[in-house]
Amino acid sequence: MKKVEFFKLIQQGIPSKLPQKKEYSKAINHAPSKQQNLSKEDKILAVKNALRYFPKKHHKELIKEFLEELKKFGKIYMYRFKPIYKITSKSIYDFPHKSTQAASIMMMISNNLDHSVAQHPDELITYGGNGSVFQNWAQYLLTMQYLSEMTNKQSLVLYSGHPLGLFPSHKNAPRVIITNGMMIPNYSTASDLNRFNALGVTQYGQMTAGSFMYIGPQGIVHGTAITILNAARMLKSNSNKIKLFVSSGLGGMSGAQPKAAKIAGLISVTA
Amino acid sequence: MIKNQPDEFKKFVKRALKKHVKYINKHTDKGTYFFDYGNAFLLEASRAHADILKDNGEFKYPSYVQDIMGPMCFDYGFGPFRWICMSNKKEDLERTDKIAQLELKKLLVDAPSEIKQQMQDNIDWIKAAKNNNLVVGSQARILYANSDGRINIAQAFNNAIKKGVIGPIVIGRDHHDVSGTDSPFRETSNIYDGSQYTSDMSIQNVIGDSFRGATWVSIHNGGGVGWGEVINGGFGLLLDGSKQAEDNLKSMLHWDVNNGIARRSWARNKEAIQAIKTAMKKEKFLKVTIPNLVDEKLIKNL
């Protein structure tokens, strides 16, 4: 895609004309469906909440689609609005912007959603099975639009993926302030998360997914190498025979462990 | 099954956890050293009623932060500093690798003996990083550094940007760090004054970063250990070669590391008490409340 076309798509935010409905891609890794325990009222509320991002004229068509997504996946991702361009990290000067700081954040968001980086890119999940960058594609589109037009006298506020808006601030203020999954303490159980996430009012940001700071498996490889290096060192006084590292894990963790053990000079078995 | 029979699924998970613990116990009986590596394994195994608790109700095994990462890294301020090249160029990453290596080597000369090993490990890491082919996606690098290391590396980057040697750089870190995360079963599991169930540190941290020049800040409920089990935060800071960026990186990184050391010191962690005293000697405007340690004999028979 040409740069000028890409700029136009970023700057338009949520398109005024509905993009074509997309086939559910079987070529990429999808997040597992979430637990289904929403009441009828909650289902209505979830769809109503999702429609807030779109003009009235599209509601009729979107209601059906969003309800279907909710029933099928336990969450409304708004698949239809996933952009047609390739989301990937590139030079900050290849993003439309008025603020270089804002452009650096666009770059980091794009890396977190890159198909070669993200675990479930269509569900905007970077790692950990549930580490969300945004809750749905409307939030992505709106955030990128805000970032492209903001100046160094504004700050963008994100509530669990939802771009609340641009607020006047000053040049040495943060350009973006992010909160993810913050709850009134008594409403922070796993089933609360399931429900409030389905309603579209909170998300699980893991650590570097919702904060746009993921750098691929390198982070966990390094941390693990340092950990087992020091573990081996700590145990050395008892025995000189510490050579085997046995572990298990899923996803990014399991891949990182043998690599880290090799760097730390150990033999490893990972189940 | 997660979708349609969630309760049944949970039962399977619990059964698997019990089995897993049974095998771990067999291994440790024969002398294996076991540690929890951050996914709340001990906590979930105890919830599944696995044989993971001692008679006094404590876990049979330590978390990696209790035995290793806490006392050896976090309490001295070592944590997962990272940077990303905004030019997206491989050459820039190679140049920054060399700059970082040089800065760490300079610091190693006068470093206190207790942190020399950590610094050397990370110099070795950065030397081998390119050949280990770790980059997936953006041109990024991670290493563990303390407050001085992070500040000196970032400052050297900012100077190189000013000179036009490299393009702009974003610095940041994982939330899993000295000050960024309150998590009783992971990052703050080596806090033993009862405050491991509070989240003042991580909240103070993000507030403090926000007015010291971070380009973006974030605070989250939930991380590797699950929702409601952790509060964690982080930042990103764009270095563009400007004087403002230099002021920001010095002020923000200093707080972003020393906040956690001060808290760990107040919790009586001896490595942190030592580290914060050293930090106070270097910065006259830093004045931290130091704990008085009571004689154990005096308090034991209370």
Domain ranges (residues) in chain A: 3-214, 217-270
Which of A88, A69, A90, A87 has the alpha carbon at shortest distance from A79? A69
Structure confidence at residue A25 (pLDDT): 86
Shortest CA gap A55–chain B (Å): 30
Q: Are residues B128 and B186 in the same domain?
A: yes
The DSSP annotation for B62-108 comes to -BHIIIIIHHHTGGGT-EEEEEEETT--HHHHHHHHHHHHHHHHHHH
Shortest CA gap A126–chain B (Å): 12
Q: Are B153 and B93 in contact (CB under 8 A)?
A: no
Residue among B4, B37, B88 minimizing CB distance to A90: B88
In the block, residue with structure tokens 């590391």: B257
At A171-208, the pLDDT tens digits run 999 999 999 999 999 999 988 999 999 999 999 999 99
* A3-214 to CATH, choices 3.60.20.10, 3.40.50.10310, 3.40.1770.10, 3.40.1190.20: 3.40.1770.10
Domain with B12 in it: 6-61
Q: Are residues B84 and B158 in the same domain?
A: yes
**Which residues of chain B have a CB within 8 Å of the CB of A269?**
none
Residues 6+ apart with CB under 8 A from B119: B104, B107, B108, B111, B149
Buried b (16+ CB within 10 A) or exposed e, A31-41: beebbbebeee
Low-confidence ranges of chain B (pLDDT < 50): none
Q: How confident is the model at residue A133 (pLDDT cuts 50, 70, 90)?
A: very high
Residue B75 domain-assigned (yes or no): yes
Is the whole model's pTM more than 0.90, yes or no?
yes
Query: Span A2-31, mean pLDDT?
Result: 94
**Which residues of chain B have a CB within 8 Å of the CB of A154?**
none
Q: Are B27 and B34 in contact (CB under 8 A)?
A: yes
**Which residues of chain B have a CB within 8 Å of the CB of A224?**
37
Residue among B138, B141, B234 minimizing CB distance to A111: B138
**Chain B interface disruption, residue of A191, A211, A266, A268, most B CBs within 10 A:** A211
Q: Which of A25-29, A260-264, B136-140 has the highest mean pLDDT?
A: B136-140
Chain mean pLDDT for chain B: 96
At B82-101, the pLDDT tens digits run 999 999 999 999 999 999 99
Residue among A33, A91, A176 minimizing CB distance to B87: A91
Instruction: Report the percentage of chain A scoring pLDDT > 70.
Output: 97
Structure confidence at residue A239 (pLDDT): 56
The single-letter code of the amino acid at B31 is: G
CB atoms B172 and A226 under 8 Å: no
What are the φ/ψ torsions at residue B250 (nearest 5 degrees)? -65, -50
Residue among B135, B142, B234 minimizing CB distance to A222: B142
Structure confidence at residue A150 (pLDDT): 98
Residue B298 domain-assigned (yes or no): no
Q: Are B222 and B101 in contact (CB under 8 A)?
A: no
- CATH number where B93 lies: 3.40.1770.10
Q: Are residues B55 and B83 in the same domain?
A: no
Residue B115 domain-assigned (yes or no): yes
At B6-50, the pLDDT tens digits run 889 999 999 999 999 999 999 999 999 999 998 889 999 999 999
Q: Are B178 and B171 in contact (CB under 8 A)?
A: no
Tell me chain B's radius of gyration from C-alpha atoms: 21
Q: Are A215 and B93 in contact (CB under 8 A)?
A: no
Per the rule left: phi > 0, alpha: psi between -120 and 50, beta: everything else, A50 is: alpha
Q: Are B211 and B205 in contact (CB under 8 A)?
A: no
CB atoms B220 and A263 under 8 Å: no
Structure confidence at residue A248 (pLDDT): 82
Cα pseudo-dihedral A96, A97, A101, A102, rounded to 10: -80
**Structural domain tally of chain B?**
2
Q: Are residues B149 and B232 in the same domain?
A: yes
CB atoms B176 and A207 under 8 Å: yes
Residue among B88, B227, B232 minimizing CB distance to A89: B88
**Chain B interface disruption, residue of A212, A220, A230, A245, most B CBs within 10 A:** A230
Question: Which chain A residue lies closest to B219 (C-alpha atoms)?
Answer: A179
At A36-81, the pLDDT tens digits run 779 999 999 999 999 999 999 999 999 999 999 999 999 999 999 9
At A28-45, the pLDDT tens digits run 999 988 877 799 999 999
Residue B252 domain-assigned (yes or no): yes
A269 inside 8 A of chain B by CB:
no
Angle, to 10 degrees, between the axis of helix B243-266 and the axis of helix B270-282? 140
Q: Are residues B234 and B251 in the same domain?
A: yes
Structure confidence at residue A240 (pLDDT): 57
CB atoms A91 and B68 under 8 Å: no
Please count the other Cβ atoms lying within 10 Å of the Cβ belonging to residue A153: 12
A147 inside 8 A of chain B by CB:
no
**Which residues of chain B have a CB within 8 Å of the CB of A70?**
none
A254 inside 8 A of chain B by CB:
no
Residue B302 domain-assigned (yes or no): no
Residue B13 domain-assigned (yes or no): yes
CB atoms A216 and B168 under 8 Å: no
Q: Are residues B11 and B135 in the same domain?
A: no
**Which residues of chain B have a CB within 8 Å of the CB of A174?**
210, 214-217
Question: Which chain B residue lies closest to A88 (C-alpha atoms)?
Answer: B137
Residue B301 domain-assigned (yes or no): no
Q: Is this complex's ipTM strictly greater than 0.90?
A: yes
Chain mean pLDDT for chain A: 93
Structure confidence at residue A36 (pLDDT): 72
The DSSP annotation for B6-37 comes to HHHHHHHHHHHHHHHHHHHHHHHHTT----B-
Q: Are residues B37 and B162 in the same domain?
A: no
With vertex at residue B71, the alpha carbon angle to CA A271 and CA B232, rounded to the nearest 5 degrees, is 70
What are the φ/ψ torsions at residue A204 (nearest 5 degrees)? -95, 110
Shortest CA gap A151–chain B (Å): 13
